[in-house]
Amino acid sequence: MTETINEGKRTMTEGTTLGSDAIRALETTWAAIRERHPDVLADPVFVTGTGATRSGLTLGSVTVNTVWQQRNQAGGGRFHEVFIAAETLAQTPEKLLETLIHEAVHTIATTRGVKDTSRQYRYHNRRFRELCEEAGLEWAHQVAETVTVPGHGKQRFLLTDGDGEHRCEDGFLLFPVEAKADEKLGYSDMTITDETVAEYREVLEILNRDLQIERGYRAIASTPPKKRRTVCMVHTPGAASMEFSSVYGAVEHLGGWPAEDAVQRIGVVVYEGLKGRGLLAGHVWWLEYV
């Protein structure tokens, strides 16, 4: 019930069930996860609210300890808390399921006595990744790397086009290379697989039908993190300075891919300062987003 003021008199009117519907949806999804993975803890206390903080956006979390207890009840149970941000509720059912599986995996680790995090529970280690893969998530991040290939020596491995097909360009092999764990969060950003989406299709249909959360958070929650702009420079003594829109123009101008230790990466602010003072003579440079 919600309280309203009507002509100076205090009256009671029927309130929204939106919050109750959201909690019920979380409980339904959690039960579906636990049905498939019995080591998931039963009956946590679900809470929701904004996940926005000064340090970023928290999609969800689970308490390490049992922080809820039934009051004035002898032998009352103690429960873990699962927090799901309103920003997560406002995204797609698939993203909500992904976040809930992530938090459920932490409880699997608790049940099995597995240490899946460190650094004040922020860094998600390889054991966490293994449990996530067991529960239907995957590490889908890819980056460019320089690796040694038998018969080819060191090659610069770049990402493919969106279709993922292998191709060659300017003599360089192009295909995905798995990214290392994030330095601060480790394997925290595990992604739901297509197979898991298909497995939970019935649950996702229920969420899509019943979880009618206003999508006002979508613009915030679904915006990918901004990539950092980095200027890559190669010193070319005696040659004319050149600026290129991509690495491919620079490679063509240089007559081949530069050695990795010949590429100097600087921030955009530093670059603009050097350029403004005319200190980039004898360099080839281009902009990258990382």
Closest CA to 17 of 2, 32, 5: 2
pLDDT at 165 over 70: no
- In-domain check, residue 198: yes
Query: How high is the pLDDT of residue 249?
Result: 77
Quote the CA–CA distance of 145 and 115 in Å, as a whole number. Answer: 30
Looking at the structure, tell me whether residues 97 and 169 fall in a common domain: no
Q: Please tell me whether residue 116 adopts helix, strand or coil conformation.
A: coil
Residue with more model confidence, 228 or 138: 138
Question: Could you give the dihedral angle defined by the CA atoms of residues 150, 156, 159 and 160, in that order, rounded to the nearest 10 degrees?
Answer: -70
Decide: 157 and 144 in contact? Cβ < 8 Å: yes
Q: Token match 């049940």: residue?
A: 111
Quote the CA–CA distance of 126 and 118 in Å, as a whole number. Answer: 11
Q: What is the pLDDT of residues 66-123, one digit of tens each?
A: 888 877 766 668 888 999 988 888 888 999 999 999 999 999 999 999 999 998 888 9
Instruction: Name the residue range of residue 118's domain.
Output: 10-137+192-221
Element (H, E) at 194: helix 194-199
Query: How high is the pLDDT of residue 202?
Result: 94
Residue with more model confidence, 280 or 29: 29
pLDDT at 65 over 80: yes
Q: For residue 270, what pLDDT band results from cuts at 50, 70 and 90?
A: confident
Quote the CA–CA distance of 96 and 185 in Å, as a whole number. Answer: 20
Query: How high is the pLDDT of residue 153?
Result: 62
Neighbours of 181 (CB within 10 A): 18
Looking at the structure, tell me whether residues 82 and 49 fall in a common domain: yes
Looking at the structure, tell me whether residues 93 and 117 fall in a common domain: yes
Query: How high is the pLDDT of residue 37?
Result: 98
Looking at the structure, tell me whether residues 205 and 73 fall in a common domain: yes
Residue 233: burial class (beta carbons within 10 Å; 0-12, 13-18, 19+): buried
- With a pLDDT cut of 90, the percent of the chain lying above it is 30
Looking at the structure, tell me whether residues 27 and 95 fall in a common domain: yes
Query: How high is the pLDDT of residue 116?
Result: 95
- Four-residue CA torsion sign, 18, 19, 22, 24: negative
**Which DSSP string corresponds to 45-100?**
EEEEE--EETTEE--EEE-SS--EE-TT-TT--EE-EEEEEHHHHTS-HHHHHHHH
Residues in the chain: 290
- With a pLDDT cut of 70, the percent of the chain lying above it is 72
Looking at the structure, tell me whether residues 246 and 281 fall in a common domain: yes
Question: Could you give the dihedral angle defined by the CA atoms of residues 41, 63, 86 and 139, in that order, rounded to the nearest 10 degrees?
Answer: -70
Residue with more model confidence, 248 or 223: 248
Looking at the structure, tell me whether residues 271 and 203 fall in a common domain: no
Quote the CA–CA distance of 17 and 40 in Å, as a whole number. Answer: 28
Residue with more model confidence, 93 or 214: 93
Query: How high is the pLDDT of residue 157?
Result: 52
Query: How high is the pLDDT of residue 78?
Result: 84
- Four-residue CA torsion sign, 277, 278, 282, 285: positive
Quote the CA–CA distance of 61 and 1 in Å, as a whole number. Answer: 29
Looking at the structure, tell me whether residues 92 and 203 fall in a common domain: yes
Looking at the structure, tell me whether residues 15 and 114 fall in a common domain: yes
Looking at the structure, tell me whether residues 210 and 234 fall in a common domain: no
- In-domain check, residue 3: no
- In-domain check, residue 86: yes
Query: How high is the pLDDT of residue 189?
Result: 92
Q: Token match 């205090």: residue?
A: 10
Confirm whether pTM is higher than 0.85.
no
- In-domain check, residue 184: no
pLDDT at 147 over 90: no
Quote the CA–CA distance of 109 and 40 in Å, as a whole number. Answer: 9
**Assigned token pair, 4:** 């309203």
